Structures are given as C-alpha cells and as structure tokens.
C-alpha cells in the first residue's frame, strides 16, 4: 500500500511535525489501498506561518499578475486531469463517466479569471473612495463529495481576492488534494500561496478555524460540523462562510411536462450517487398526477447503471464509506416502517453486487411532509414523492424545512414558474431543468449556511471593505 506522509507547505513537501496514519478504503471494493498522515495543530501553525509570509506580496499584486497565476494553474491542471479523476474514483467511488468532478473544478478556476477581469477593487462612492482589500490568510476546509470542485471554487476566489491559503481536505479524499498540490507546484505558484495539511476535523479543522492569524474560514460540509467550525472561529472574530446541508424540493406544477421533470430529477438527484447537498430529494406533485409521475420516475430509474466506477458505462457508483452506507440503509428502512411505498429500490445492495458500498436507487411515494425521510438529509440516492392539493400548499411544503440550499420548479407558464421561484426560500432556484453555472452565487438560507461562493459574491467573501474619506 502507498503511504501519503507529507504535507505541502511553503512550496515544499515536508514531514509532519506530529501525525498519525489513517487508512484509505476503496468504496467499490471495501479494501484498503493507502494510508495518509493526519496532521496536528502544530502542522497548521507551520502552514499558516508560510501563508502569512506570502500574503503581503500576493495582496499587493496586480489583477494581471493573479490572472496569469490562475492561467498557469489551469494549464497544469488540464495536463493532469486524468490523474485527478482516477484518484477521485479510487478514494470516493466517483464514476469515471462523471467528468463534472474535474470539469467543474476547471470551470471554477476559469470563473476566478472572468470575475477578476470585470471587477473594480477601488471605486468612488460620492466623495469617498471604497477599496476592497484581501481579508488575510484564508482557511479552506472541503468535504469528500465534490472535493476538487469545492477546493477550486474556494481557491479561485481566494487567489482572485489576493489571499494566501491553508487547505484541509476531508480525510476520506486526500489523494485528489495531494495531486492538486502537485499541480500547484507544477504551475510554479509562489511559495506559501497554497498550503495543504491533511487531517481530521478535531485535529486540523478545529486548528484552522480557531487560528488567530487566519482571517476567513470557508467550510463546506454537514450542518453539524459547520456549527463546530463557527464555534471554534468565534473567539478570534474571523469571518466564517459555510455551505452546509440541504433538503431541496422539486415543485412540479400541474401544467408541467411530467416526463421531463421526472427524468431531470433522477439524473440530477442521482448524479454523484446522490451525494450532493443540492440534490432534489423531495418531489412535490399534484395529487391527481401521482401515478403518472411515478411511472415516469420508474422509467427513468431503469436507465441508471449501478456498478464498478471504473466502467465507463456506470452512472451510479458506491457511496463514500461504510458509515454512509449504513446510514442510508437506516433511512430506507425508516421510510418503509413509517409507511412509505417503494416505487423502486429498497434496502440492501443492488443485485449482483456483493461487495462495495452500493445503494439501490430508491424512490418512495406516499410520503408525508412530517416523515423522517422527508425532513432529514439522507445524502444518497433516495428520493421522496409528496403530493399537494393546490399551489399554495405546495409552496408551504417546499419551504417547511430547516434547510434552504436549492429548489427546483417545473411548469409550462414561465411567468408563473418564476413567481413560484421567487417565493421559495433557497439560495439557488432552478427553473425547468436549467443547468448550474459558475457566475450565479451558491449558498443557502437557514441551516444551509451563510455567505456565498462562485463569481463576484464568492470573491467578496475574501475581501474587506475600506472607506477612505477626505480625498477631495
């Protein structure tokens, strides 16, 4: 087995000050394939010191200089994209067909360039001068479900703003992050601009969140972990941005194309094995159209190919680890016990797959808004169909959640669809199957977090606003 024992700090691969090994398991085979060193607060201190030393030059660099830096990073990433995708497949089970894992990361870096080109860091406000300046060293903590996309989302915004970075990937997906750090090295980024310390939440994540020399922490993960990050960050009064959990509704209006809505929901909802916080996990349909919709959902589900993520034909791989597998199985069993009717899927592994953390694509009907699987984030390929009797009730059901990350609306009348979208409490609302893009801000209401990522809004999370008064 390979051992990934070093951290990328100040432009070099260094031995940890204090570390312990963590075994990495391939979720498709349930077999260990490597170990990684998990670091300590002392390793974070060293990484922050390197980032702090690099900050003044980066903060004072020109837009053109930072654009050129991101362009080199894109070129180096493109040359090794296949290697990064192979790491993702091995460590988290992402199918090789899911090119969005690496493609979205490259798009995030490109968006950093596009945002900078259009952005004015110094403007006038009446008789005042407004300056936007780097907030300081940025702590970046990323999850295991979209590890490279989210790392690049945050890094692109931080570098565009002029902030140096200390990053901690999930301990379940460190290999892709290590490959990315090698890409940073290939691109020739200045020493200390990007630093990588592998570790878990208590050991490294908490140290990043609490560190007095870090000006902002950007975290993506569970709501539970997000609360812990905010608590650790509070004494230093640093900025904290969070993208957390979701329980997104897909509100299908009575005049919608039911087949299109169903097929979109299955494709979008089961992409990345349902391990996406924006997944439309609650489908709201008029009570008179339930049978027609479930027929379309069944048809769409038959097109899902579950299996070896290295097979180009596979569209649904395993979930990331045993803990997630058992958690999702528990939710499926709970849905059955509480009266849910299975449209497809159910407990256990798919037929013919005896090993690996594979989940049967599962759709429930006869779900009411108070049931467990309609309220709690499952984070797997499990969808609940809920009926409504009028549009007002549908909107109320969609908004009856502690989350507010994403929402979806399907309907024939685009003005009515827009009106419904305006009334949904979510950070991103997708109309009639519109694809996501990197210009629109991403973030949520309620327990889905605070702050935004991507585009101008994402970059401004890494900027302070200074007013200069009296220059007449």
User: Which residues form the catalytic set?
Assistant: 243, 277
User: Is 397 in a helix, a strand, or coil?
Assistant: helix
Place of tokens 């070099």: 12
Q: How far apart are CA 70 and CA 60, in angstroms?
A: 16
* Encoded tokens for 110: 């490109």
Q: How far apart are CA 209 and CA 236, in angstroms?
A: 9
Q: Are 159 and 69 within 8 A, CB to CB? A: yes
CA distances from residue 149 to 110, 112, 153 in whole angstroms, order as listed:
12, 13, 6
User: Is 93 in a helix, a strand, or coil?
Assistant: coil
Residue 185: phi and psi, rounded to 5, are -65, -45
Q: Are 428 and 436 within 8 A, CB to CB? A: yes
Q: Are 199 and 39 within 8 A, CB to CB? A: yes
Place of tokens 């406000």: 125
Find, among 56, 78, 60, the residue nearest to 187 by Cα: 78
Strand ranges, E, within 244-352: 248-252, 280-286, 341-344
Number of neighbours of residue 224 by Cβ within 10 angstroms: 10
Q: How far apart are CA 132 and CA 463, in angstroms?
A: 6
């Amino acid at each position: 087995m390979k051992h990934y024992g070093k951290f990328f700090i100040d432009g070099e691969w260094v031995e940890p000050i204090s570390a312990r090994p963590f075994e990495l398991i391939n979720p498709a085979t349930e077999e260990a394939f490597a170990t990684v060193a998990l670091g300590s607060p002392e390793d974070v201190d060293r990484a922050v010191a390197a980032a702090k030393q690099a900050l003044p030059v980066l903060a004072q660099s020109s837009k053109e200089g930072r654009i050129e830096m991101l362009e080199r990073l894109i070129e180096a990433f493109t040359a090794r994209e296949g290697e990064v995708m192979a790491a993702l497949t091995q460590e988290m089970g992402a199918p090789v067909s899911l090119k969005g894992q690496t493609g979205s990361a490259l798009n995030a870096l490109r968006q950093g360039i596009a945002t900078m080109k259009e952005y004015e860091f110094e403007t006038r406000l009446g008789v005042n001068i407004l300056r936007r300046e780097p907030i300081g060293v940025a702590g970046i903590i990323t999850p295991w479900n979209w590890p490279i996309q989210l790392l690049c989302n945050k890094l692109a915004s931080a570098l565009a703003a002029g902030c140096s970075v200390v990053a901690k990937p999930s301990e379940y997906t460190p290999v892709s992050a290590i490959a990315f750090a090698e890409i940073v090295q290939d691109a020739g980024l200045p020493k200390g601009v990007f630093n990588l310390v592998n570790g878990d939440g208590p050991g490294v994540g908490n140290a990043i969140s609490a560190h007095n020399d870090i000006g902002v922490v950007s975290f993506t993960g569970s709501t539970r972990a997000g609360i812990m990050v905010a608590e650790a960050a509070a004494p230093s009064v640093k900025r904290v941005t969070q993208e957390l959990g979701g329980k997104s509704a897909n509100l299908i209006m009575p005049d919608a194309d039911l087949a299109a809505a169903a097929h979109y929901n299955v494709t979008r909802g089961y992409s990345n094995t349902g391990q996406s916080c924006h997944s439309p996990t609650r489908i709201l349909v008029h009570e008179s159209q339930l049978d027609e919709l479930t027929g379309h959902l069944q048809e769409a589900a038959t097109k899902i190919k579950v299996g070896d993520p290295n097979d180009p034909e596979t569209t649904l791989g395993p979930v990331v680890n045993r803990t997630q597998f058992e958690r999702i199985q528990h939710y499926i069993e709970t849905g059955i016990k509480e009266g849910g009717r299975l449209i497809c899927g159910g407990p256990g592994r798919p037929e013919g797959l005896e090993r690996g953390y594979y989940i049967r694509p599962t759709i429930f009907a006869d779900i009411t808004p108070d049931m467990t699987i309609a309220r709690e984030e499952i984070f797997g390929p499990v969808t609940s169909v809920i009926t409504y009797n009028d549009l007002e009730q549908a909107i109320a059901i969609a908004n009856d959640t502690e989350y507010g990350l994403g929402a979806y609306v399907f309907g024939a009348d685009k003005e009515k669809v827009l009106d419904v979208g305006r009334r949904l409490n979510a950070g991103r609302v997708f109309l009639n199957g519109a694809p996501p893009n990197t210009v629109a801000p991403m973030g949520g209401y309620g327990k889905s977090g605070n702050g935004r990522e991507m585009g101008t809004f994402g970059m401004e999370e890494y900027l302070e606003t200074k007013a200069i008064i009296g220059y007449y």
